[in-house]
Amino acid sequence: MGSTPFVSVVTGSSSGIGRAVAMELAKRGDFLVVHGNRNVSGLQATANLCLASGSSGVLAIAADIQCQSSAQELVRTAFNRLGHVDAWVHMAGADVLTGDSRQRGFGDKLEQLYRTDVYGTMHLSRLVADRMLNQAARPYLPSMIHIGWDQSTTGMEGDSGQLFCTIKAAVAAFSKSLAMSVAPKVRVNCVAPGWIKTEWGTAASPAWDSRAKGESMLDRWGEPNDIAKTIAWLCSPDSAFVNGQTICVNGGWKSMSLSARCETTYKI
């Protein structure tokens, strides 16, 4: 991919899908900048896994993207240390489904999701876009990826549906607007996962397990690698004419009727 290393940044890569994305990019020899916030041990583990997977080098940075000065330092460090960034993947998002956050009320969850997934992503993206627009020309257009949700356009019942549909619809709308703003010098796309076997999915109740499988035409949960491989393609020159898109990765949406959903009380 050229005479200088392909540099990819993956925020929120201390665990889960973010780690899978970083490792997938490492397999093709990218120089990786991996990022986390509080999970420093997980961040270091991701860095080691990326090196073992074939990365040409790894830089690990801890930063709170909700904080403007911390986000600025993350961007400044990545670009100044490496000279350029070819792909920036915004995986960082608030976890309100597991751990202590699961017990918080609706308002607290909404604020947590907004501060990280919307405000944090928008502020960070604008900083990154400005640097990408002004960095030295590369053999291929730099690329940015955001993370939405496949059900954000259809809606889902319950508190979780109200939270995630609203937050991820905002992210997808921003992603498309940013793509229009920085074209033709930077590509921006959004990946909208379906039901993915993350930490929450692994421990999901039988009712949720049945629903997740039933809503996919492929009758299964998605795996983190399903998302990682799609993102790796979108970050590569192979997708050079794909821009301003929201791409669902869900095995094909097969909507269940609301009455069927309501036969069981679903609670996340």
Query: Which residue blocks in the chain are alpha helix, DSSP H?
Result: 16-27, 40-53, 68-82, 106-113, 121-134, 158-182, 199-202, 206-214, 224-234, 258-261
Q: Does 266 score more than 80 pLDDT?
A: no
**What are the residues whose beta carbons fall under 8 Å from the beta carbon of 258, sequence distance 6 or more?**
157
Taking only the tens place, the pLDDT of each residue in 86-124 is 999 999 999 888 877 778 899 999 999 999 999 999 999
Cα 220 to Cα 43: distance, rounded to the nearest angstrom: 29
In a domain, 267, yes or no: no
pLDDT given at position 249: 97
Taking only the tens place, the pLDDT of each residue in 152-211 is 999 999 999 999 999 999 999 999 999 999 999 999 999 999 999 988 878 888 998 999
In a domain, 225, yes or no: yes
Record the pTM. Answer: 0.91
Taking only the tens place, the pLDDT of each residue in 34-61 is 999 989 999 999 999 999 999 999 999 9
Q: pLDDT exceeding 90 applies to what percent of the chain? A: 84
Q: Does 261 score more than 60 pLDDT?
A: no
Q: Does 150 score more than 70 pLDDT?
A: yes
Overall size of the chain counted in residues: 268
CATH number, residue 42: 3.40.50.720
Number of domains in the chain: 1
In a domain, 171, yes or no: yes
pLDDT given at position 256: 60
Residue of 152, 154, 176, 173 whose CA lies nearest to 164:
152
Residue 131, domain extent: 7-261
pLDDT given at position 159: 92
In a domain, 266, yes or no: no
In a domain, 2, yes or no: no
